[in-house]
């Protein structure tokens, strides 16, 4: 007969010991039943804060108390609390609560408990965004309760479809997505329980825009997130501005006779590195190059950001017809999360108009564009300086061969911001190819003190070019 190994014997002993303990535990009760009380109901039937009754959602175990838009929620009293029979809570009537944040409340009944969320929501009645035909973005003046929308000349303003987003739980009249006549100003009323506001929307046809945002897409809805955020900012902040496509410019459907600045902010996941890659990635821009060259030669200016900085080589603005020689980028759906503030160097250009009124960081010689925790693609189109890449030996050689003026630099000395100054009747061109210059992020950047510098620098560049 085979002997049982010591390892197996130990394992068998442990199994028998566990079985014995389990048997002894169940044998402790004569009637073989547990003392646990597991049938208790932990439902919140009603709850009120101050004089405001809450709405109970059983599925999410949430009680929502709606209060007027300007109501002080910092100290509210639990005025009523009705629970299922036999239940108790860790909050009691009379408790003072800071309801500027949601509270968790534990309801117990016997040996059963459930956690509930209690929150107060103000009855906000605001129009958060306004578009016409999904393309023309309205500029909202919240204080005056007015919205201005600019559309190209020729658009039928008698049958425009508003696309409106409003505050949570609010309704708007006339309703969204129904065609309306905007020949005259139209009033929209937003209501949300105790809150109510009326906005006046005025549509203005623009036959001759002062500034345009150009792109490869037929309209704004075809732009990617990075480009769309930049374009929407322009439409909301630059009067008499429009989105146009390169096809519009090529076929002459937009009148640029009074346009002072064309802005192209061009993003492509993974980057666009080199002249041939640019031609392949943005053929729409190449096809329109002759018309753009005519505009430039007649004194029209350009703001070109990210991979759009390749365009000057196609419109005769670069002496050696070269493009940035060092470009790369990440993907919007998997951004790099910064672990420190990002910036680039101004060096001796701190007095240039595009750097006015920026929020300063630790180094006064730097332009900071985001703090730690920002999600960024680091999309870069720069001029590498140095003979190691067969490029330009130094900044003077680059300036002599390209005709450009360096305005911003990376940590390795690469030129990341530059201009082709207006001369001989031609327009001026500002190029921003720094990976720090970013409009769209997948994280909440509302409290990022440096990211506003992107908007400030862009507006500075626009004003600078407008006055050329």
pLDDT in tens, 52-111: 999 999 999 999 999 998 999 999 999 999 999 999 999 999 999 999 999 999 999 998
Strand spans (E) along 246-334: 261-266, 301-306, 326-328
Cβ(312)–Cβ(301) under 8 Å?
A: no
Does position 20 have pLDDT exceeding 60, yes or no? no
User: What is d(CA 257, CA 140) in angstroms, rounded to the nearest whole number?
Assistant: 28
Average pLDDT score over the chain: 91
Does position 430 have pLDDT exceeding 70, yes or no? yes
Q: Please report the pLDDT score of residue 14 as a whole number.
A: 42
User: What is d(CA 80, CA 92) in angstroms, rounded to the nearest whole number?
Assistant: 9
Q: Please report the pLDDT score of residue 388 as a whole number.
A: 82
pTM: 0.71
Cβ(359)–Cβ(397) under 8 Å?
A: no
User: What is d(CA 320, CA 362) in angstroms, rounded to the nearest whole number?
Assistant: 38
Cβ(191)–Cβ(198) under 8 Å?
A: no
Count helices and strands (H / E) in the chain.
Answer: 8, 29
CB atoms within 10 A of CB 256: 20
pLDDT confidence tier of residue 38, bands split at 50, 70 and 90 = low
Scan for tokens 């905007």, then name that residue: 182
User: What is d(CA 408, CA 413) in angstroms, rounded to the nearest whole number?
Assistant: 9
What is the Cα Rg of the chain in Å?
Answer: 32
- Residue 177: both structure tokens together: 């997505």
DSSP 255: -
Identify the CA nearest to 295 among candidates 209, 204, 399, 231.
209
Q: Please report the pLDDT score of residue 95 as a whole number.
A: 97
User: What is d(CA 289, CA 313) in angstroms, rounded to the nearest whole number?
Assistant: 10
- 276 burial type by CB count under 10 A (0-12 exposed, 13-18 middle, 19+ buried): exposed
Q: Please report the pLDDT score of residue 137 as a whole number.
A: 82
Residue-wise pLDDT for 205-232, tens only, equals 988 999 999 999 988 889 999 999 999 8
Q: How far is CA 23 from CA 12, 13, 30, 310, in A?
A: 17, 15, 13, 80
Q: Please report the pLDDT score of residue 155 as a whole number.
A: 87
Q: Please report the pLDDT score of residue 468 as a whole number.
A: 75
Mean pLDDT for 37-51 is 88
- 425 burial type by CB count under 10 A (0-12 exposed, 13-18 middle, 19+ buried): exposed
Identify the CA nearest to 254 among candidates 160, 155, 156, 152.
152
Residue-wise pLDDT for 238-271, tens only, equals 988 999 999 999 999 899 999 999 999 999 999 9
Cβ(44)–Cβ(71) under 8 Å?
A: no
Question: Which residue segments constitute the domains of the chain, with CATH numbers given?
Answer: 44-122 (2.60.40.2340), 127-205 (2.60.40.2340), 208-466 (3.40.50.880)
Torsion (CA) 190, 192, 194, 199 in degrees, nearest 10 = -10
Task: Map residue 136 onto helix, strand or coil.
Answer: strand
Cβ(132)–Cβ(87) under 8 Å?
A: no
Mean pLDDT for 290-314 is 98
- Residue 328: both structure tokens together: 């790369």
- 454 burial type by CB count under 10 A (0-12 exposed, 13-18 middle, 19+ buried): buried
Does position 19 have pLDDT exceeding 80, yes or no? no
Residue-wise pLDDT for 134-183, tens only, equals 878 888 889 999 999 988 888 899 999 999 999 989 999 999 999 999 99
pLDDT over 70 percentage in the chain: 91
- Please tell me the total number of residues recorded for the chain in this structure: 468
Identify the CA nearest to 244 among candidates 273, 218, 270.
218
The rounded Cα 48 to chain-centroid distance in angstroms is 37
Helices 452-466, 225-237: axis angle to 10 degrees equals 60
Q: Please report the pLDDT score of residue 35 as a whole number.
A: 56
First to last CA, the chain: 103
User: What is d(CA 272, CA 460) in angstroms, rounded to the nearest whole number?
Assistant: 26
Residue 292 sits at the vertex; the CA angle it makes with 325 and 251, to the nearest 5 degrees, is 130
Identify the CA nearest to 451 among candidates 434, 438, 432.
438
Cβ(199)–Cβ(143) under 8 Å?
A: no
Mean pLDDT for 415-427 is 97
Beta bridge partners of 153: none
């Amino acid at each position: 007969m085979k002997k049982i190994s010591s390892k197996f014997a130990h394992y068998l002993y442990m199994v028998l010991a566990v079985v014995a303990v389990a048997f002894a535990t169940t044998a402790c009760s004569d009637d073989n039943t547990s003392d646990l009380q597991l049938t208790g109901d932990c439902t919140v039937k009603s709850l009120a804060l101050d004089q405001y009754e809450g709405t109970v959602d059983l599925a999410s175990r949430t009680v929502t108390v709606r209060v007027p838009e300007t109501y002080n929620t910092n100290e509210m009293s639990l005025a009523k609390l009705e629970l299922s029979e036999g239940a108790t809570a860790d909050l009691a009537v009379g408790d003072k609560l800071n309801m500027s944040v949601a509270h968790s409340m534990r309801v117990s009944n016997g040996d059963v408990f459930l956690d509930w969320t209690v929150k107060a929501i103000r009855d906000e009645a605001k129009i958060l965004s306004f578009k016409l035909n999904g393309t023309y973005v309205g500029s909202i003046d919240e204080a005056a309760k007015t919205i201005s929308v600019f559309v190209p000349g020729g658009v039928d303003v008698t049958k425009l479809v508003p696309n409106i987003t409003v505050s949570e739980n609010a309704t708007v009249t006339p309703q969204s997505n129904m065609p309306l006549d905007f020949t005259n100003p139209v009033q929209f009323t937003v209501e949300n329980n105790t809150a109510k506001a009326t906005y006046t929307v005025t549509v203005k046809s623009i036959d001759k825009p002062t500034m345009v945002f150009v792109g490869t897409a037929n309209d704004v809805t075809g732009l990617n997130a990075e480009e769309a955020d930049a374009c929407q900012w322009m439409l909301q902040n630059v009067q008499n501005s429009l989105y146009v496509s390169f096809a519009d410019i090529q076929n002459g459907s937009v009148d640029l006779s009074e346009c002072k600045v064309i802005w192209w902010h061009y993003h492509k996941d993974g980057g666009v590195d080199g002249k041939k890659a640019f031609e392949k990635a943005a053929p729409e821009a190449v096809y329109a190059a002759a018309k753009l060259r005519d505009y430039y030669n007649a004194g029209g200016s350009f703001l070109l950001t990210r991979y759009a900085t390749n365009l000057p080589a196609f419109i005769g603005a670069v002496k050696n017809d070269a493009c940035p020689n060092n470009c790369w980028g990440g993907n919007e759906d998997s951004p790099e999360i910064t672990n420190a503030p990002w910036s680039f160097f101004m060096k001796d250009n701190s007095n240039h108009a595009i750097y006015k009124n920026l929020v300063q960081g630790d180094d006064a010689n730097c332009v900071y564009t985001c703090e730690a925790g920002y999600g960024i693609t680091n999309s870069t189109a720069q001029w590498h300086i140095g003979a190691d890449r067969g490029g330009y030996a130094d900044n003077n050689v680059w300036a002599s061969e390209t005709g450009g003026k360096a305005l911003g630099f990376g940590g390795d000395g690469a030129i990341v911001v530059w201009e082709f100054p207006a001369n001989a009747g031609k327009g001026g061109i500002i190029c921003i190819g720094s990976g720090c210059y970013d409009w769209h992020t997948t994280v909440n950047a509302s409290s990022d003190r440096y990211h506003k510098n992107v908007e400030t620098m862009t507006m500075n560049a626009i004003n600078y070019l407008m006055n050329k």
